[in-house]
């Protein structure tokens, strides 16, 4: 209880796809994830909604959004997890959408490079765009960003 749930394992790659916008503190989450990467070779990749001040906040008001009440991963009637096998997370998520408009490149870069240089060789770029219909019947184009960084070697 309270120990390392992964028993000290280190990984070559950790990928977070469409998850960061659910986290309350992305800097803290990045710091935690970085501890599970192999020093000098482990990479963190984040794929999430890119901030567009004009309309990205409307992403979660669209039809067939994976966050709507009928198809929510937080709705007990549509659970992908067996409650008997629930796991405790060391990265607090509120079950809400804390960043409904997504992230700017600078926000993600700061989370990756902040805290004393958590990750190195950081790349943040627009990955792709797609169109989605809003509940009002308006088709909007949204973009996803891709961020990648490597955990530095440990200094001895």
pLDDT digits (tens, 9 = 90+) for 13-70: 999 999 998 888 999 999 999 999 999 999 999 999 999 876 656 665 544 444 443 3
Q: Which domain holds residue 25?
A: 13-150
Asked if the structure places residue 88 within a domain, the reply is: yes
- Total domain count, the chain: 1
Cβ atoms of 102 and 48 within 8 Å: the answer is: yes
What's the pTM value of the predicted model, to 2 decimals? Answer: 0.72
28, part of any domain: yes
Length of the chain as a residue count: 156
Question: Distances from the Cα of 22 to the Cαs of 4, 29, 67, 151, in angstroms?
Answer: 22, 11, 10, 23
Q: 131 lies in a domain?
A: yes
Residue 131 has pLDDT above 80, yes or no: yes
Q: Which pLDDT value is given to residue 39?
A: 96
In a domain, 155, yes or no: no
Q: Do the domain assignments include residue 8?
A: no
């Amino acid at each position: 209880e309270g120990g390392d749930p992964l028993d000290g394992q280190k990984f070559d790659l950790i990928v977070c796809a469409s998850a960061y916008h659910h986290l309350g503190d992305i800097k803290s989450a990045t710091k935690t994830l970085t501890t599970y990467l192999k020093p000098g070779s482990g990479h963190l990749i984040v794929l999430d909604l890119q901030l567009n001040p004009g309309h990205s906040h409307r992403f979660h008001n669209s039809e067939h959004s994976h966050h709507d009440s009928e198809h929510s991963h937080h709705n007990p009637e549509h659970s992908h997890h067996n409650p008997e096998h629930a796991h405790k997370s060391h990265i607090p998520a509120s079950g809400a959408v804390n960043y409904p408009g997504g992230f700017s490149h600078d926000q993600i870069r700061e989370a990756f490079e902040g805290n004393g240089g958590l990750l190195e060789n950081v790349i943040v770029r627009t990955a792709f765009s797609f169109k989605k219909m809003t509940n009002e019947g308006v088709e909007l184009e949204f973009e996803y960003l891709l961020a990648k960084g490597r955990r530095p070697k440990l200094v001895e």
